[in-house]
Structure 1
Amino acid sequence: MDTISKEDADHVKDHPFSSQELQALQATLKPRDDETDETIHLSASRDAASRDAIANLLFVLAGHPVATRLKSATRRRSAQLAALYVRLQYDDFALSLSIFDPLTTAVADYTSDLDIWKAVLQFIDLITPPPSKSIPASYFGTPFTRSSASHQGSDQSRADLKDPLRRELNDWTYENVSGFWEKYFEGKDWAERCTNIFQDLSKRHNGNALQEYPAKHSEDKIWEWLDGFQTEFLEPQKSLGSPQEKPHLDSSRGKYFRTKKTGEITGGQHKRQLDLLVKRRSVSTNKLHDWREVLVVGELTCSPKKDAWSDTFLQLAVYVREVLTVQPLRRFVHGFLLFGDEMQLWVFDRSGAYGSEFNVCEKPERFISAISAYALMSDEELGLDTFVQQDGRQATIVMENATSKEDMVLGLERWPFVVQRSIVSRGTACHRTTDEECVVKFSWRSAERRAESDLLKSARASAGIARLVCACDLTSIKELRSGLDFSSAKGARRKTFRLVDARTPDDTKQSFTGQPTQRENMTISGSKRRNDSSANRDERVSKRPRRSSRCQEVAPSDLDKSQAQFAKPQELFRNRILTCIVVSPAGRPLRHFRSPTEFLTGMRDAIRAHKALFMDSKILHRDISEHNIILTDPKKNSGFSGMLIDLDLAVAVGENRQNEQTEARHMAGTLQFMAIEILEGGLDSKTAGIEHTYRHDLESFFYVFLSICICYGWEAGEAPESNILSGWYTGKIKDIYRFKLGDMGPGGFEKIILPKFSPTFQCVIDLAMRLREILFSTGALDIGTREDPEELYGPMVGAFDNAIQALSW
């Protein structure tokens, strides 16, 4: 290519290589210590070292701002460079290295930036086949958002969760919110009692209520003071007089407890040690606590706030996530941080965290009142659910039937079978009814989105889709936060974390100027890497980028001003509406399959249901995940053994199958099951993302299929300790993107994914290969959307039919 468009030339001019960046490019072509040539010239070398050198060069170029701005007819150049990087890493010998000669010459014998980018465009155009008849990617989607929901099982240690929670709470955390103290601690039934406690304590110590508060702020000393305080003022003191004589001496509803080691609190996702917690006095005082009993969480530290805030706050967030996971119907959770003389009071809800702070010594009455209040608050003031009625161990709800308009009394099974493990999210929780006829779903939908009940009504004619029985809205974030002012004009401070991620301004530059990320030197079997080149080729399938968790707090002013509109949300908080929906029929989670045949039948019928929803009802689901497919009795579900649930993120589509609803502000889908092209849309912070299509949902079905085949079907004690699919949901977006590109490529799929199938699912390996071929083709990955949906729906359903038939022989 001798010419380059004016627009592309302007991009190159606006983003020149710095001397440091140019050195990083040229360094990728430098020989290893055991090489003798001054530079690896491709015309003379065709071994593994050449492939690594070219792959590293493409890796670095893919992260440059110019690559993210140049687009072909269907894809970004950065994505095409990343795809080529993956092909080289997996020894795609059909890719001739000679096509890269102009690029390596332009880099090694540098004359201008323009020559380098001309060479890039030249070899991309040479190897990119003409696009199939497909729908061009539409880049008017929505910015990407992250949550900790994908982290499950062993991936939920404090270290594992802190980085995801940084991302989840980034820009949705506020300090010094105006009206916070007045809303949560004043005008309550117990407010006068808190005042009386402070006055009584002051009188005993000659006006110094904190005389006995430890000057040296060790955790043991603070607990000793707090335990003595609650014994004296919050527990029954019948000998000191009747409640009428000294009302503040009546017993409080809650009591403070302390854990000294991990394992003293049960029922959570991981073993943890919580500094302080409040639970009801009526609950057993057994030494072991349960996360289901926790009302308030607290953290103590001797370190100054300025040094320890970020780490301590995220530690508190980990504990709040535990509470919301086992108490998913909580409206919000109170928490506090005590940095010696500095105290922060926090409330976490499904839209983030907000709080107030003060100096304990300067405001002793506020300190005493806060400590007392947490033990005196009612269920509603603590954010507990008040909609579900408890009668002993039986939980019931009363709702109006959507058809007959008559009230229905529904009994709920005690524990939900679906729970979303995150804080800032829809917080979805699904219970079966005790008669096993319906599913009751609670979720915090976006106030900007069309209600799921409306979509279910529109989809009533689509077989395999949940049928609406009842629906109602319970409350909203806007209502729960009424009376609070989050504006900076009133002193509120929005907390922003620097996140080393593909959608942050600094990340592109950082990934460009450094060398490609180191890769693990382990084979699939776990043996150490050998030094000979043949070993390198055999083992290259296991070399994946290491994930970085480098994050630090940063003030919003430190962000690139030109990208402020993408780096920072415009609204003060996301308004969500808590909705309860009852649908039928009931079913079992996909992972509770009784046989491979039942699993395959459920998957096939869920795809059939998706087709009917999209083609007939003109609705696109957009959140295909393991939790949104349930196994059903075909006698109760129109002959379908699998059913799609949860249309919270669904959108209506027009006759041209383009999304009609564009008010949703965040990229849709569950990260672990997200399509490659959707991830690709998250690589460039200058664009809003890629519009979701039916093909992206079908790709998500494939990832659900693979996840079940790898993670389930093991005998007790035989399952692998590490999850090979963790790269699909942890780390930077660009690394997740590369992981999936590599795993779905011919080499990666056959050498990394298929060998990890559990013993139960060895029988469906041929089906897995066929599904991959249908979705991605046999050669270079085709991730575009076909114009005719039947080109994918028909072959996928047929592949499942053939596999089901084969299992019955």
Structure 2
Amino acid sequence: MADQQSRLKIINDNPIGKGLDAFRTSFTSICEGAAVSCTPDALEQLGQKGKKNLAIKLIAALQGLQTSLLLPSNSSTLDSHSNDILIWKYVYDVTEPTPPPRPVASSLQQTPSRRTTSSLVNSSEYHDNIDPVLKSELGLVYVDVRRFREAYFGGCMDSSNPLFGSEGWSEWPAGSRGKRSVDIGFVKDDFTYDPTADPTAGKVFRYHLSHALVPGELKSNPSADIPSIAMISIATYAREVLSAQDTRRFVLGFTLCGSYMRIYAFDRLRAIASEKFDINKEGQQFVSTILGFLWMNEEELGFDPTFMTANVGRATTCWKARREEDPQNPLVIKDSWQWPNRDEEGDLLREATGKGVVKVALYYHHETGQVNGMDDDIGSNVRKGLDITSATNYGKGRSVVSPSTSAAGAPRKGQSSSATGTKRSYSQAGAPLPPSKRSGSAFTIKAGSDLLLNRIHRRVILRDYGKPIYKASSRAALLTALEGCIKGHESLYMASLLHRDISINNLMINEDENNPSLPSFLIDLDLAVRVQQEGASGAKGKTGTRAFMAIGALQGEPHSFMHDLESFFWVLFWTCIRYNAQGKDIGSTGFDSWNYQNDHMLVQSKKGEIDDEEDFIKSVTEIFTLHYQPLIPWVSRLRRKVFPDGKRWKRLEPELYSSMKQILRDARKDPEVLADSIM
């Protein structure tokens, strides 16, 4: 009995945690290879060889855990229902390997056009959640693309001097809660090296994602060179590098699984990969690859050569800029990768400004990016015209890409930034702005039922800039800005344009008296469409940022202005549960799962919040931050207006615009709401 208690304490003091993640990945890979569903029942279908393989992998994984070194070596078992204890029980019994916990439900069939990494809002991003979304977003990565190395390494003879790092990369802040760290890679040389640091502490180098040039992933097992294992890790690093470095057009990376090396290119569409090669047998190719990375200049590494920046912020694709001949009126340059079959955001913004739309960022100019003397796109420029149909897995699996899909690592567009920058083509004194133009490089590949769409590098220049609405200085300022943005949406709709992506990052506030921009306004017409005034847009497809999407939109209804007005309600709701004064994020909440739930579950979650007024008030009293507690009666009043009788609206009601604005105005008269403005 004493031995049992001692063993129990050791197990409880040394939880397995994520120590079996690699084994679970192997289990998934083995099941996929055998065309078996990844559930505990799979053991009955894998056969003796599959079971033996899993047992070896499980034992190897457990041997690497601290607990295995501490447990006494007898075979008695423990009578407990703890997951860790049960796992160690099976190890002691040495019977059959314990099947891994049921994996997270696959998101591959769950509307991948919206469950993307770019749509995650305030998410803690545990790998158990982010990996399925990232895998769905990437879709099918084409491997063994011929002439890959010639296309990407052919011109890298200009000398540059990045440092080749290894151990230090494990100290990067990885960005996601799981703290997955990069194994190996190339970094810039503008970091501090401390020669007195203790090497055994693993902190000789201190890197940030802004230093990353080429991330790498190491796997000891050669069989890990399959998309479900090595690819998801390197894709995570590429996503974070794309998010951290504003001027990246693409990111190169590599995997080394055993002695097999493969090179990847991640862009704003998805990813492609070279043929693998054995570094032990093809040493010259390995050395030339490493030297190629070292010799590449910034443009060849994926940086945008048309931008020179200073003090660039993290995870944004907008820059505040000034024309030398007119420094008093700053502009905002929005840089994005658009689907060629969509109306250009620049055209829609120009149309809105021309029609006198109010409370929407004013248009100034738009164009297609030019690199190497040609329109910048993925197919013919970033990927150098490589023939994707040469990939060995071309045509396999799901390869249809929806126009509303956001590519791997693509950050949300339209977020304002205090960063400054100078665009080369506009930096010359007196140089006129070039005329607007459409891209002529709509590069499309079609083979059988497969359709791979292109993305085109476009820029929009706006006259207004601000900060996201949740950063308002007071409750009253938030409500005023929200009312202004609803006015902007109504004005946009009256001009026959429907926004379709109302979110906390697309509603802006300007409280800077030195900023000549609008006090509040809408941005980001990436998903906007032209509509008639009858109501629904008729546009198919579920678009928007998941946490703020209307219930009906999640259910596939044709998008109408009512869906967007419901999204305004969810923006206010989210702000009140997630932020304190001055937009201070309180951290993870129980609503992070709204980023990952499938449509059905998310619909039920949202209905559960609003279907009963008494339950709603009780719930928000518990979950609203202290700063936003005074808004509870007013948010409840909005709920009654947006969801009459606790249900969704049954008909289109244009008067909902005026009703919502009136509630916000009345709320600003509440002394409790105004208290933080007076202090």
After TM superposition, the score normalised by the length of structure 2 is 0.66
Alignment of 1:491 onto 2:366: no
Answer yes or no: is the 8 Å Cα contact 1:606–1:644 preserved in 2.
Answer: yes
Is it true that 1:437 corresponds to 2:330 in the alignment?
yes
Tell me if structure 2 keeps the 8 A contact 1:336–1:344: yes
Per the alignment, residue 528 of structure 1 pairs with none
Question: Which string of whole-angstrom CA distances, capped at 9 and with x for unpartnered residues, describes residues 763-798 of structure 1?
Answer: 11111111111111124x2254x33422x1111111
The CA deviation at 1:666 is 5.1
Q: CA 1:144/1:319 → structure 2, altered by over 3 Å: closer, same or farther?
A: closer
Equivalences for 1:374-453 in 2 at 5 Å?
Answer: 374-390=293-309, 394=310, 414-415=312-313, 419=316, 429-433=317-321, 437-453=330-346
Matches within 5 A, 1:628-643: 628-632=506-510, 641-643=519-521
CA distance in 2, matches of 1:714, 1:637: 22
Give 3-state SS (helix, strand or coil) of 2:645's partner.
coil
SS in 2 for 1:580: strand
Q: Distance in 2 between matches of 1:146 and 1:453?
A: 26
Which residue of the partner structure matches residue 232 of structure 2?
314
Contact 1:775/1:782 (<8 A) preserved: yes
Check whether the contact 1:143–1:667 (CA below 8 A) recurs between aligned residues: no
- From the CA coordinates, give the structure whose radius of gyration is larger: 1
**Alpha-carbon distance, 1:706 to partner:** 0.7
SS of 1:384's partner is coil
1:152 positional shift: 5.4
Contact 1:445 1:578 in 2 (8 A): yes
Secondary structure, counterpart of 1:599 in structure 2? helix
CA contact (8 A) 2:127 2:176 kept: no
Q: 1:707 to 1:736 in 2, by over 3 A?
A: same
Residue 471 of structure 1 pairs with residue 366 of structure 2 = yes
Q: Counterpart amino acid of 2:368?
A: D
Match of 1:679 among 554, 570, 573: 554
Matched, 1:787 2:662: no
1:394-452 alpha-carbon deviations (Å, 9 max, x no partner): 4xxxxxxxxxxxxxxxxxx6326x73xxxxxxxxx223337673322111121111111
Q: Give the direction of change, closer, same or farther, for the CA distance of 1:808–1:307 in structure 2 (3 Å limit).
A: closer
1:456 equivalent to 2:322? Answer no
Alignment partners' CA distance in 1, 2:397 and 2:329? 45
- Among 737, 744, 767, the residue aligned to 2:610: 744
Tell me, in whole angstroms, the C-alpha distance in 1 between the residues paired with 2:150 and 2:161.
Answer: 21
For 1:358 and 1:267, the matched residues in 2 are separated by: 27
Separation (CA, whole Å) in 2 of partners of 1:486 and 1:752 = 51
Specify whether residues 476 and 701 from structure 1 end up closer, same or farther in structure 2 by C-alpha distance, changes over 3 A only: same
CA deviations on 1:605-626 (whole Å, 9 max, x unpaired) are 10011001001x1100011111
Distance 1:749 1:311, change over 3 A: farther
1:595 has 2:488 as partner? no
Task: Report the alpha carbon displacement of residue 652 of structure 1 after superposing the two structures with TM.
Answer: 0.7
Matches within 5 A, 1:263-662: 264-266=171-173, 268=175, 270=177, 271-281=179-189, 283-285=191-193, 287-305=205-223, 309-360=227-278, 361-390=280-309, 394=310, 414-415=312-313, 419=316, 429-433=317-321, 437-460=330-353, 461-474=356-369, 475-478=376-379, 479-487=381-389, 491-493=392-394, 496=397, 571-615=450-494, 617-632=495-510, 641-659=519-537
Distance apart, 1:655 and its partner CA? 4.1
- Residue 726 of structure 1 is aligned with which of 592, 597, 600? 592
C-alpha separation between the residues in 2 aligned to 1:715 and 1:639?
20
Which whole-Å CA distance do the structure 2 matches of 1:808 and 1:284 have between them? 48
Identical columns (%): 31
Would the alpha carbon gap of residues 637 and 603 (structure 1) be closer, same or farther in structure 2, given more than 3 Å must change?
Answer: farther
| C-alpha separation in 1, matches of 2:606 and 2:561 | 19
**8 Å CA contact retained: 2:638, 2:663:** yes
Asked whether the equivalents of residues 727 and 739 of structure 1 are also in contact (C-alpha less than 8 Å), the reply is no
The more displaced of 738-747 and 251-260 is: 251-260
Asked whether the 8 Å contact 2:260–2:277 carries over to 1, the reply is yes
- Structure 2 residue aligned with 1:75: none
In structure 2, the partner of 1:240 is none
SS at match of 2:555: helix
Question: Taking structure 1 as reference, are residues 614 and 638 closer, same or farther at Cα in structure 2, changes over 3 Å only?
Answer: farther
What residue number does 1:161 align with? 130
Whole-angstrom CA distance in 2 between matches of 1:629 and 1:375: 43
Distance 1:152 1:768 in 2: 21
- Maintained 8 Å contact 1:158/1:315: no
Q: Aligned residue for 1:759?
A: 626
Taking CA–CA contacts closer than 8 Å with sequence separation of 6 or more, which of the two structures ends up with the larger relative contact order? 1
Sort the Cα spacing of 1:471 and 1:293 in 2 relative to 1 into closer, same or farther, 3 A: same
Q: Which amino acid aligns with 1:742?
A: G
- Measure the CA separation in 2 of the matches of 1:678 and 1:451: 23
Q: Deviations over 1:47-87 (max 9, x none)?
A: xxxxxxxxxxxxxxxxxxxxxxxxxxxxxxxxxxxxxxxxx
Pairwise CA distance, 1:302: 0.7
Distance 1:387 1:307 in 2: 36
CA pair 380-748 structure 1, distance change in 2 beyond 3 A: farther
Structure 2 gap ranges (5+): 1-110, 195-204, 323-327, 370-375, 400-446
Between the aligned partners of 1:457 and 1:670, the Cα distance in structure 2 is 24
> Within 5 Å, which residues of 2 pair with 1:70-109?
none
How far apart, in 2, do the equivalents of 1:569 and 1:375 lie? Answer: 40
The amino acid that maps onto 1:276 is I
Q: Partner of 1:174 in structure 2?
A: 142
Q: CA deviation at 1:315?
A: 1.4
For structure 1, list consecutive stretches of 5 or more residues without a partner in the other structure.
Answer: 1-141, 191-250, 395-412, 420-428, 499-567, 682-689
**Residue 580 (structure 1) shift:** 1.7
Q: How does 1:38-49 map to 2 (within 5 A)?
A: none
1:223-262 equivalences in 2 (<5 Å): 253-259=161-167
Shift of 1:703: 0.8
CA distance in 2, matches of 1:765, 1:695: 23
